[in-house]
Structures are given as structure tokens and as C-alpha cells.
Structure 1
């Protein structure tokens, strides 16, 4: 079955409208970004080259104090953040006080290192937090000027659990406006840069997290993902990130809140520089729901079934996958077969051709009670009146709007969205869901490109706004997936791949991440390249 002639025309018109709109915005936008000719300094302090797991162990054993570790990360943030603009509000003084309390607690502990490890596995370790998460005493705006001055009075559940495990937040990091764009900039905090090339994007919406992690200004952080907002920043910034099976890690006390069926597709998860931190972080962040995942089950990679999906079949909505990303995924396949003795089967799903349409359709569906998602224009205006997209477009032309180009564009797109979902697109999603679940079972793992290309230059995504479909489709399928770095490419920019599995099989992809880090080297210091 194929799209009807009317549906083909609708898709073409929709794509043409978006392309013209964003091209116009790009040509007229006053926003400029990037720091030409500069690069990050290399990492000098050896404490910055240890995983959170290793740091916690050294702190418990009194080989290093929490104050020393926290101060090392504060120094690094102060060194690189003027170039990155990733951390938009710090709490350095409070963090140093908390670190001193940690050191005092360790001095007074009589139960031994094992007791501390069990009760407080991240004791004394610095943490960065995406600004869309509530962190007590920190801004909670998600880059919206009308929310300027909103300060959180509570902690979001995953943040609270990490703090309870001993982690010490250093501050909050930048996002795209309302977390709905793949470049992290807004008119409240400005533009965030990629640590490997300051003229390129760090991704979104967790771009501040990805940038500061990639720049060695943080070792662990938290992100949220409804269309790739963990995986794209981790890919572009050369770090690890995990989109958890939905419903396991709480998404409460985040902004914007879930509406419609968004709760079925959004995930909170860990972001970090070292793969060994993914599992302990996920155990903590899942809290009372950790039992839903088999995180304590030992995984034998040689007994898994591996599949590789090289591309989406050539969708006209997305950019073709670059040769270097096709090649690095092929090298992963080759190493898996050589090292593990497994056979990696190449598979193709014709339904992936409609990835963007599936994501867009399901994001607009009402919940079980028939309540539609909250309009984006309403979110743009909160806590006041909803924004009027056409008025904002006029103000944008006069350089008087408080909103970013992509936010205005998305609000305008919502106005043109069909009132009824396409039956054909619904059918494609259901066929893809069934095929993927039958393929993967409880022991299948697949490789899929993270994005069609490495980190684009600032604002270039405006010309290719649908390339996130490579990550977004997996949200709609509800599958867990881990983003893994695979070294640097021709331009010195991070390469990577998504590793996915069946629902609730998160432990499989986390184990593959450990293997890929060991095989391909994991994170690379951007200052050393």
C-alpha cells in the first residue's frame, strides 16, 4: 500500500512550506553564533579524566577529597564555558559547601567503604543538570523569556534521586526554546557551541549537557528525549547517552510538561563521558521502577542476535546518511563479527521511509481521554497569554520578537497540521512496531545511524529540519537506545551510532556501549585534537 495521490500532494506541500519558511528565516535572522578561530584548551587535571564511578571510589577511600574534585570541575567550567555557553547558571559556592560536608561525613563514617558505596554510590561526584529539569534554587525557564525569574522550589525526581545518592549539582545547562529544536539556543541565554568546533551546534534539546560533558566540564548529567534530545547532543559532542524505555524514569517536574500522548514517547536518562557510568546512573534514576529493567542481569554479548539498519531507505524528508557514518557503522559490524564470533544481519524496513510523518502524526494524537496535546503557542506565552504565531512572525521580521526562529516556525506548522491523522501513516507505524518487536524479542540488538551527518554548523538545521527523524522514530516505537561515540571523523568531529533493543531490554544496549567504548576508544578530548 502506498500514499494516496492526495496524501502525496499534502506531504510535498508540507515539506515545501517548511523548506521555504526556514530558508526565509535563515536568510533574515539576526542571530549569529560561533567563536571563529578559537578552540578549547586541552584537559590538564587528571581528575577530569576519571569516570564518576572511579571518582566516587577514590573519594570513599580518601584518595582524593570531594572538595578537590568539585573544585577541579569548577575550574574547568570557568575555563571552557566562556567559549561554550553551556552552563547558564552555576551553584559553585553551594556545591563546595556540600563537598566539604561529604568529606566530613567520610571522615566520621565507621561502617567502612562498602556501606558508603551501598548507601551513597555517587557520594561527592559533580553533576550537571539540564535546565528543563527542576533543580531547587535554580532557574526553571527552558529558555522562554516570559518565564524569566521562574526558580524551582523542588527537585525533579531523577535529580532528587541522584542527589540522594550523593551527587553534587554544579549548575544547570542550556536548552533549545521549550526543548523542541535540535540546536540549543534561545533569547534568554543565547547560543551554545560544540566543544569540537565552536562554529557548530551541540544538538538539542539537551545541548548544554552534551556540550559541557564533551568539553570535560562535567562527567555525568541528565537529559530528556522525545525526538532525540539525549542522543543527538551525545552524538554531536562525542559522549554517551541512554534513552530509557518510556515509563521507567519519572518525567515529572520538567518543563514543558507532557500532554496528549507525549508521556508514551518521552524518556529521561543519563548522559556521561564514560560508558561505565550509564548503568549505575540508570539504577539510581529509575528509583522504585528499577525492578522493571533487568539491570543486574549479566549479559553475554556472544549470545545476542545483532542487526544493522544502514539508513531509512532514502526518505525525501531527510538528508542522505554521509559516507563516513555509513562506513563507521560498517566497521562496528565488522568488529562485532570478528571479536564476538556473531553474525550481524543487515535488515531494511520500508516503513522507516515515513519516520518523520509517523513521529509528527503520533506527537499530535490525543490521550486516552481524548485530550489533545497542549498547543505550542500556549507554551510560548506561559505564564501569560498564548503567543499568536502570525504576530510573532511579523515581530520577527522587525526584530522585535522574544522567540527563536524554530519556535515560531513550529507554532506556524501546528496551525497547518491536518485535523485527522493519515490512516496510511498509522498503518505504517503499526507495521513497523510489529516487525521490530518480532525481530528483536528479548535478545536482539540493532545498530542505526544517529543522524544523517556529523554536527552541522550553527543554523544549518533550518534547511534540513526533519533530519532528527533518525532518532525520533525510536521514541514513537518506545524502544530503549544507547548513543555511543565511535571516535572522530574527517573533520575532527565525533562519529557515533545508536544501539537499540526491545522494550525493557535496556541492559543489552548498555553492555554493548561498554564494548564499543573499549573497541573504539570512547570520548576524545576536544582540546587535544
Structure 2
């Protein structure tokens, strides 16, 4: 394999290939303007160059990817060629991929090999995608930063001293640097949207129950958590997100018109922190959208309560199921593990996870509060189904672009409940099980990417993607970081 990769000369320049989205690559391969071998080889060589600096790929399958690319190039013209034919993608470590590890970042699981593909992986392979490798996550995907004791920390390709976000942080970092054409992540608390926002990539969190979670580790332990979770694509264009979502969704979205759609941009009067650069970006977006749409600034129902509801739902069982996964063969309990790690830094449990599990115990709702939450959610679903019928919401993702490593963790997991200040923007779509598209829309004070979310209800995905393409064409869109080239 190494000699083939070393000696090939693509018809397209390396920079052109790395900047292409999945649809462009698939079309070029099908029209024989380029081979899958040339594309896959280009991405592999680039990934091998950048990965030592960002630590995004934790397990590769480069030899297998090259073999699969050659097989596709040798197929006859009459062969069935799916929409992702020959396209190299990456996969969040949390998804089962046959014959690859599935660890959740736990040292205790470092030798566990998946026997079969997760359902979404089967669908992507059937569409012709070629998997390059699996990307890093925090332990058990339980943090909005990406670091664990097994694989270490992932860095942002725009500035390696800054976080790529999490839990799909390896995906965000790799795609931000152009290390794959597209990828697949998961999101129960901003885990697709944080990395998309921080690394300048496009990401889509599907609404509740739209994409199968079969083969994702860890699984959700409570029905309310299941509705908050979404398995979705990440990549370089809105049209790719629409394509990939159509492939992995149980029911592809129906076509819609934007003729009667109202756009609501989140008001500044939320008492939630937001940087001046982000405020300016939203103001500019409002101005250009007003030329074609009805646009208002408002605060949607339940915005003020969603961050608390998110934390309580995440803490429904006090972290018991995750604690079993972590400490099943360990004499330490979570408090002892956290204290020992802080003192010695020699445990197998990252403090991000142990502190999050402690927080789950502290914030576990009582039985009466749980019933109250269930009632709030039931009533809220009905109200939002009516409110969002012909309405698209535009939110920020976070109050700043990517901060230095550890800052997001400090802001969200503080004992002072500062998650109430910093989680509302992303928690809203999770609590109410809403589809949300993140699009790069500018840069912050440190020249780091910042994005916006377009949110609505299940069934309005087509409208979300249509507006997303308009935003993408008029603001920043995906720009590959070339700082590591």
C-alpha cells in the first residue's frame, strides 16, 4: 500500500481534493475525472501529516480503505454506485465499525473489538462510503471537550492550544483540517454542534428518534435521554448534510417550500453571555435575510428553562449506568477516583468524567421532580409543535469561539451551576428533540471560527437545509484550516 500511495499522481491537486465536499468527490469519481484510489490516497497522506499535531484519528484502517478504493475503481460501468461511491469518511469512535475497537476512551476497554457495524455505518457503507478511521472522544462521550486516558487530548486545527469541543471533537478537528470528506457524530448535549462551531465545519443534529442509535456506545439509560440524542453527519457543506441525513434517517425528509416560513433570530435580551463578534454576526445575518424573508428577533418558548431541564435529564439516574461501565473492575468509587487523580494523575479515569459523574449525583432530580419534568416535556412538545410549524429559529452555538483547553469544561461543569449561563443555546434542541444545523458564519476576536444554528421541528428538515444553503452562500461557510499544511 505505501508504495502505491507514495507514487500516485492525482489528476486534481491535493489542495483541490482536500477542499472538495463529499458530493463533488462522488460526482468526480462516477464521471471518471478522478479515481477513488487517488482521492483516498490524498486524504490518507494528509491525515498522516496532520494527525500527530491534532490527535483526531485514534484508529485507522488505511490499508483496508486503499483496497476498497481499488475495488470500486475496478467495478464495471453497470455496477450499482451509491451516492457516496468511493468517498472517504471518518467515524466517531462511539460507533461500532466491524473489526475496529470500540472503547469509549476507557483503558479497560482498549482490547474490545466490534463484530458488526452500527446501523448508520451499514447505511453509509451501502451508499459507497469508505471509512478511513475512527476519531477521538472524551470518556463515554460525557464532556464537551475531547480528552481521555486511553488516547489523550485532541487539539483544534486552527490553534492547537484551543479545544476542538466534544464529544465529537475528533471528528470536528479532523474535518476542520480537511482530513476526510465527511464524517458521522452524535449529539446529546451539543456534541455535534460544539465541534462544528469550534472547528468551522458544518454539522447536523437530527431530531428525536429520526436516526437509529443501534451500535452507539454508550447507549442512553433513560427515555428522556434517548429523545435528546441525535446521530448525525458533519462535513464541509449543507448539501452534504442533507445527503447524508437522507441516507441514515429512518424516514428521509419531505420536500418543502420557504415561501411561508418565518425566521426568528434569538433576541439579545436573554441574559445569556454572548461575544460582541457573535452579536455583530447575527445582526448582519438579520439584515441580509430581511431582504427575502419575514425576520423577527424573539425568545422562543422554554428557552429560559431548557438548560436546567437538560442537566436534570442527563442526571436522571445519578450517573449510575455510566459509573458501572467505568468502575466495574475497579476498587475505587467515583469520589475516590477523582481525588486520587487530582493528587497523583495516575488513575485510569479522566477527571472530566469523574467530576461529571459526581455532578450527576448532585443534580439527580427527585421522584416528584422527575414526574414534573415528564409533564413539562409532554406539554412543551405540544406547544412547540404548533409554534415551530412554519418557523425556523436561528441561535448562536456558544458564547465565544473555541477557548483554550479546559475552559469549556470549567464553564459547563462548575459546582456553581454556570451551565445555566453557557448551555442554553445548545440545550434547547436537545431537550425538545429538535433538528439543528450548524453552519460556520464568521470568526471571533481570536480569528477562530464561529457558527450559527438553524433549528425547527421534525418534518421541517428540508426547510432547515434550504435556509442553511442561503446562509452558507452569504456568510462564511466551510473554510479548511491550512495552518497545519
Q: Same fold (TM over 0.5)?
A: yes
1:358 to 309, 314, 319: 309
Q: Residue 326 and residue 432 in structure 1: after superposition, are their counterparts in 2 closer, same or farther (change >3 A)?
A: farther
Measured in 2, the distance between the counterparts of 1:100 and 1:268 equals: 30
Q: Counterpart in 2 of 1:336?
A: 289
Q: Counterpart in 2 of 1:66?
A: 36
Q: Residue 248 and residue 142 in structure 1: after superposition, are their counterparts in 2 closer, same or farther (change >3 A)?
A: same
Q: Residue 334 and residue 71 in structure 1: after superposition, are their counterparts in 2 closer, same or farther (change >3 A)?
A: same
Q: Residue 496 and residue 439 in structure 1: after superposition, are their counterparts in 2 closer, same or farther (change >3 A)?
A: same
Contact 1:486 1:521 in 2 (8 A): yes
Contact 2:90 2:183 in 1 (8 A): yes
1:332-411 to structure 2, matched below 5 A, reads 332-338=285-291, 340=292, 342-349=293-300, 351-365=302-316, 374-382=320-328, 384=329, 388-396=333-341, 397-411=343-357
What is the CA distance between 1:349 and its match in structure 2? 4.2
Contact 1:235 1:483 in 2 (8 A): yes
Alignment of 1:323 onto 2:271:
no
Q: Deviations over 1:90-130 (max 9, x none)?
A: 1101100000000001xx2236xxx63xxx11110001000
Measured in 1, the distance between the counterparts of 2:238 and 2:247 equals: 15
Q: Counterpart in 2 of 1:440?
A: 388
Alignment of 1:279 onto 2:242:
yes
Counterpart secondary structure, 1:458: coil
Q: Counterpart in 2 of 1:146?
A: 108
Instruction: Provide the TM-score with structure 1 as the length reference.
Output: 0.82
Q: Residue 152 and residue 444 in structure 1: after superposition, are their counterparts in 2 closer, same or farther (change >3 A)?
A: same
Q: Deviations over 1:342-388 (max 9, x none)?
A: 2211112474223321112223447xxxxx97533112235x36851
Contact 1:380 1:387 in 2 (8 A): no
Measured in 2, the distance between the counterparts of 1:164 and 1:310 equals: 43
What is the CA distance between 1:285 and its match in structure 2? 0.9
Contact 1:312 1:470 in 2 (8 A): no
Contact 1:445 1:500 in 2 (8 A): yes
| Runs of 4+ off more than 4 Å | 423-435
What is the CA distance between 1:312 and its match in structure 2? 7.7
Alignment of 1:412 onto 2:358:
yes
Q: Counterpart in 2 of 1:25?
A: none
What is the CA distance between 1:435 and its match in structure 2? 4.3
1:252-267 to structure 2, matched below 5 A, reads 252-261=214-223, 262-267=225-230
Q: Residue 201 and residue 249 in structure 1: after superposition, are their counterparts in 2 closer, same or farther (change >3 A)?
A: same
What is the CA distance between 1:394 and its match in structure 2? 2.7
Q: Deviations over 1:312-361 (max 9, x none)?
A: 8225xxxx1111112211211111112x2x22111124742233211122
Q: Counterpart in 2 of 1:290?
A: 251
2:261 to 304, 308, 311: 304
Q: Once structures 1 and 2 are overlaid, which stretch shifts more, 260-269 or 127-136?
A: 260-269
Q: Deviations over 1:423-468 (max 9, x none)?
A: 7766765665454332211x21011111111111101123211223
Q: Residue 80 and residue 427 in structure 1: after superposition, are their counterparts in 2 closer, same or farther (change >3 A)?
A: same
What is the CA distance between 1:248 and its match in structure 2? 1.5
1:441-456 to structure 2, matched below 5 A, reads 441=389, 443-456=390-403
Contact 1:310 1:329 in 2 (8 A): no
What is the CA distance between 1:525 and its match in structure 2? 2.6
Measured in 1, the distance between the counterparts of 2:222 and 2:19 equals: 42
Contact 1:485 1:517 in 2 (8 A): yes
Q: Residue 132 and residue 388 in structure 1: after superposition, are their counterparts in 2 closer, same or farther (change >3 A)?
A: same
1:240 to 179, 182, 202: 202
Q: Deviations over 1:218-242 (max 9, x none)?
A: 1110011111111111111111111
Q: Residue 424 and residue 253 in structure 1: after superposition, are their counterparts in 2 closer, same or farther (change >3 A)?
A: closer
Q: Deviations over 1:32-77 (max 9, x none)?
A: xxxxxxxxxxx95211121111111111111101000000100110
1:513-524 to structure 2, matched below 5 A, reads 513-524=468-479
Matched pairs, number: 460
Q: Residue 400 and residue 433 in structure 1: after superposition, are their counterparts in 2 closer, same or farther (change >3 A)?
A: same
Gaps of 5+ in 1: 1-42, 367-371
Q: Counterpart in 2 of 1:79?
A: 49
